[in-house]
Amino acid sequence: MDVLSDAIATMRTGVPVLNRARLGRGGWRFAPYDGTGFHIVLDGRCWLLPDSGEPVALGVGDVVLLARGQGHALAFGDTEAPSRRQTLLFDEWNSERVRREPAASDATTAVLCGKYRRDGSRPHPLLRELPEVLRVPSGMGRHVELRCAVDLLAREAGAPRTGGQSLVASLLDVVFVYLLRAWLDDCPAVAAGAGWRRALTDPVCTVALDAMHGDPAFPWTLEGLSRLAGVSRATLSRRFTALAGQSPMAYLTWWRMATAARLLNASDAPLTEIASRAGYGSAFAFSHAFKREFGQAPNRYRREARSG
């Protein structure tokens, strides 16, 4: 089982993008977007200024994740949000960056700005627990793997080479996974608390999640899952619902639909195959269940997802 990888797979669409830039003063504004973005400070200092929330000071090596695409600004050389005339939408700045970017010797801050498009229709409940702004500081000896991935990403973004486009996309995936791992490691759920961070460490819940994610097409029942977990049906149902916010069987239905939606978006597999992989005996039964969950037939969902 790898719930984290599966959660990311259900969320992400398209190819991630990355820009590397330098600036001395002023700043950029990033309009709200249907995606997940992050900034990595390579050199110097700056401020992240969310449209709602407190300013966040960023230094060398800091990584900040904006999980739900909140509008924000990056301010360089200032402690307050820059005025409208001091800032540009980043896309405008980036289209003319050769003319606008200062010489490396004059720049005070260098940043990497990355962005993922997101399918907001079926976010995994684990990702819904992410804060709007997640800062992972650069403390010595902490999150070594993330630091190494950031260093590789900075090198590839700074000196394009053969195969670099593919490598950058892969490294962005790696950075994203390590960011989420850092969040899970640094913000563990308290022993008496609930939520997906706790569910992922609960020995009973993890057995059930392992089974459902490992083979969503299998005809799982509450009795079968509880037998695997070595507890009664009532115990499994109570613990899973308390931590994950829904019953095991409700989560299984959700996960099957999320899996089917991803297959519809990413493959040309016929409905009969997708129905089988999602645990349904016929395309008709699958289409009925899918329409009940998404409000539209699978083929229409596929057309609209690809046209968007």
- The answer to the question of residue 46 being in a domain is yes
| Block residue for tokens 């308390």 | 242
The pLDDT assigned to 190 comes to 45
Residue 191 banded pLDDT, cuts 50, 70, 90: very low
- The answer to the question of residue 144 being in a domain is yes
82 pLDDT higher than 70: no
Q: What is the pLDDT of residues 273-302, one digit of tens each?
A: 999 999 999 999 999 999 998 899 999 999
Domain count, the chain: 2
Helix (H, G, I), strand (E, B) or coil at 162: coil
Tokens of 146: 């993330």
Q: Are residues 61 and 152 in the same domain?
A: yes
Q: In the predicted model, what is the mean pLDDT of the chain?
A: 82
**Residue that terminates a domain, selected from 157, 186, 215:** 186
- The answer to the question of residue 146 being in a domain is yes
Residue 256 banded pLDDT, cuts 50, 70, 90: very high
- The answer to the question of residue 11 being in a domain is yes
Please say whether the beta carbons of 74 and 143 come within 8 A. no
Q: By percentage, how much of the chain surpasses pLDDT 70?
A: 83
Q: Distance between CA atoms of 236 and 242, rounded to whole angstroms?
A: 10
Q: Kind and range of the H or E element at 136?
A: strand 133-136
Q: Are residues 137 and 235 in the same domain?
A: no
Q: Are residues 228 and 295 in the same domain?
A: yes
Please say whether the beta carbons of 67 and 111 come within 8 A. no
Q: Are residues 166 and 211 in the same domain?
A: no
**Residue that terminates a domain, selected from 163, 186, 209:** 186
Q: Are residues 209 and 158 in the same domain?
A: no
The enclosing domain of 263 has a CATH number of: 1.10.10.60
- The answer to the question of residue 54 being in a domain is yes
| Block residue for tokens 């005339």 | 85
Residue that wins the pLDDT comparison between 87 and 135: 135
- The answer to the question of residue 191 being in a domain is no
Amino acid at 159: A
Q: Are residues 150 and 66 in the same domain?
A: yes
Q: Are residues 20 and 156 in the same domain?
A: yes
Please say whether the beta carbons of 10 and 119 come within 8 A. yes
Residue 253 banded pLDDT, cuts 50, 70, 90: very high
Mean pLDDT, to the nearest integer, of 244-269?
Answer: 91
Q: Are residues 31 and 70 in the same domain?
A: yes
- The answer to the question of residue 126 being in a domain is yes
Specify burial of residue 260 (Cβ count, 10 A radius: 0-12, 13-18, 19+): buried
Please say whether the beta carbons of 24 and 106 come within 8 A. yes
**Residue that terminates a domain, selected from 155, 186, 217:** 186
Q: What is the pLDDT of residues 25-67, one digit of tens each?
A: 777 888 888 788 889 999 888 889 888 888 888 988 899 999 8
Please say whether the beta carbons of 290 and 301 come within 8 A. yes
Domain carrying residue 266: 196-307
Q: Are residues 201 and 175 in the same domain?
A: no
Q: Distance between CA atoms of 156 and 86, rounded to whole angstroms?
A: 30
Q: Are residues 24 and 163 in the same domain?
A: yes
Q: Distance between CA atoms of 258 and 11, rounded to whole angstroms?
A: 9
Q: Are residues 182 and 200 in the same domain?
A: no
Mean pLDDT, to the nearest integer, of 127-145?
Answer: 82
The enclosing domain of 36 has a CATH number of: 2.60.120.280
Contacts of 225 (CB under 8 A, 6+ apart): 207, 208, 211, 212, 236, 248
Q: Are residues 131 and 200 in the same domain?
A: no
Q: Distance between CA atoms of 118 and 157, rounded to whole angstroms?
A: 23
Q: What angle do CA 4, 195, 176 make, to 5 degrees?
A: 30
